[in-house]
Amino acid sequence: MNNVIEKYFPHLTDRQREQFNMMGGLYPEWNEKINVISRKDIQNLYVNHILHSLGIAKMLDLKSGSRVLDFGTGGGFPGVPLAVMFPDSHFHLVDRIGKKLRVAEDIATRIGLENVSIQHGDIKEVKGKFDFVVSRAVMRLDEIVPLVKRLIDAKCINSLPNGLICLKGGELDSEIHNYRRSVLIEQLKYWFDEPFFETKKVVYLPIQTK
């Protein structure tokens, strides 16, 4: 396993280490068939994709039984790394692009994840309630909120109120304008030393439902 994961998450179990280690072989193998990650970027898999996904785990410590929806998961980011990190929570991965979703499903199966479900389709087709919706550079915050609000469970079991958590980069003023009073933005550069994270952020928006 690339030591950068253990650098920031030193208390992994042997099983988690094994699963993260397996990703290092499986994603490049799939990327030869389906361009899930940029060909130039696959060598940065652990920092730019796996560790980036785990930025959410620095903000959120999920309790057992939590349900998380990964909206626009693509090849499984951030859902698959988070499912490894939180084996007692369930992750539902959704994407409209079937070939990328096959990668996520195959890797989740081959590394032995039993807390992941897959749905090929539009976010409007998703049913059920979730504690959190997570996404990684899918669309603007003000575009996501109307799509996922109905999916947020009114009952909260975690210390962080239920809501939306997005991995973002760059300037965010325009898309968070309507949520300034409630949105929380954490800079990943304060948690991770690598230059990649200089402009990367975790954006959290609590969503209240009836």
How high is the pLDDT of residue 2? 67
Rounded to two decimals, the pTM is: 0.96
How high is the pLDDT of residue 138? 81
How high is the pLDDT of residue 46? 96
Instruction: Give 83-115 pLDDT, tens digit per residue.
Output: 999 999 999 999 999 999 999 999 999 999 999
CA 133 to chain centre: 9
Whether 39 shows a pLDDT value over 90: the answer reads: no
Instruction: Give 172-192 pLDDT, tens digit per residue.
Output: 888 888 888 899 999 999 999
Task: Indicate the average pLDDT of the chain.
Answer: 94
Distance CA 184, CA 80 (A): 24
Distance CA 188, CA 199 (A): 8
Distance CA 186, CA 184 (A): 7
Share of residues in the chain with pLDDT > 90 (%): 84
Q: Which residues pair with 165 in a beta bridge?
A: 134, 204
Share of residues in the chain with pLDDT > 70 (%): 99
* Nearest one of 48, 98, 46, 47 to 75, comparing CA atoms: 98
Whether 207 shows a pLDDT value over 80: the answer reads: yes
Whether 44 shows a pLDDT value over 90: the answer reads: yes
Q: In Å, how far are 105, 188, 197 from 67, measured between CA atoms?
A: 18, 24, 27
Query: What would the mean pLDDT of 26-41 be, rounded to a whole number?
Result: 90
How high is the pLDDT of residue 209? 78
Distance CA 196, CA 171 (A): 16
Q: How confident is the model at residue 21 (pLDDT cuts 50, 70, 90)?
A: very high
Whether 1 shows a pLDDT value over 80: the answer reads: no
